[in-house]
Amino acid sequence: MSSASTVSTVSTSPSGFTGVVRDVVILIARVAVGVILFAHGWQKFFTNGIDGTSQGFEGMGVPAPTAAAIFAASVELVGGALLIIGLLTPLVAVLVTANLAGAYWYAHSDAGTIFVDAGGYELVLALAAGALLVGAVAGGRISLDHLVFGRKKASSPAA
């Protein structure tokens, strides 16, 4: 294999990564965000429990804390799993972002810092940005979205 053909599979264009590299990068980002969300949803459902999560939310001033706990735990657990497999990623991205906007508003906005170790919003911001980016590309070509819903005709490369 010549070095020219190797370079072409990992090269970048002015618009970003191309080909297989782009597909793998999207997969890694999608799975990473999904795993983190899944873990937080698991924590809310099974470690703290909905009652414990609800009590924590109530202490933060979250309205309807039990409903909010169920919503947050469900979005994180189910949404995380859906991101991992790459299914319904645009919808999941919107739900995750709404959930994380609530987390920012009620839990992190008054921390006075971005840093998570001091109660800041860096994790919330990074997860929301990651979810939105993955949602914008509908999970990428290595996803169930691509397998089930196929490629949009407008994004098909010319032959």
Query: For every one of its 159 residues, what pLDDT tens digit does the chain have, with 9 covering 90 and above?
Result: 544 544 445 555 667 888 999 999 999 999 999 999 999 999 999 999 999 999 999 999 999 999 999 999 999 999 999 999 999 999 999 999 999 999 999 999 999 999 999 999 999 999 999 999 999 999 999 999 999 998 654 444 554
pLDDT at 159: 45
Does the residue 6 lie in any domain?
no
Q: Which domain holds residue 55?
A: 19-150
Does the residue 159 lie in any domain?
no
120 sits in which H/E element: none
Total structural domains in the chain?
Answer: 1
Does the residue 39 lie in any domain?
yes
First vs last Cα of the chain: how many Å apart?
A: 24
pLDDT at 17: 84
Nearest to 34 by CA among 73, 71, 85, 69: 85
Does the residue 156 lie in any domain?
no
Single pTM value for the model: 0.84
Does the residue 40 lie in any domain?
yes
Does the residue 8 lie in any domain?
no
In angstroms, the CA 21 to CA 10 distance is: 6
In angstroms, the CA 6 to CA 105 distance is: 47
Q: How far is CA 123 from CA 5, 16, 30, 116, 149, in A?
A: 39, 25, 15, 6, 31
Does the residue 59 lie in any domain?
yes
Q: Which amino acid is at 129?
A: A
Q: What is the DSSP string of 26-93?
A: HHHHHHHHHHHHHHHHHIIIIISHHHHHHHHHHHTT-SSHHHHHHHHHHHHHHHHHHHHHT-SHHHHH
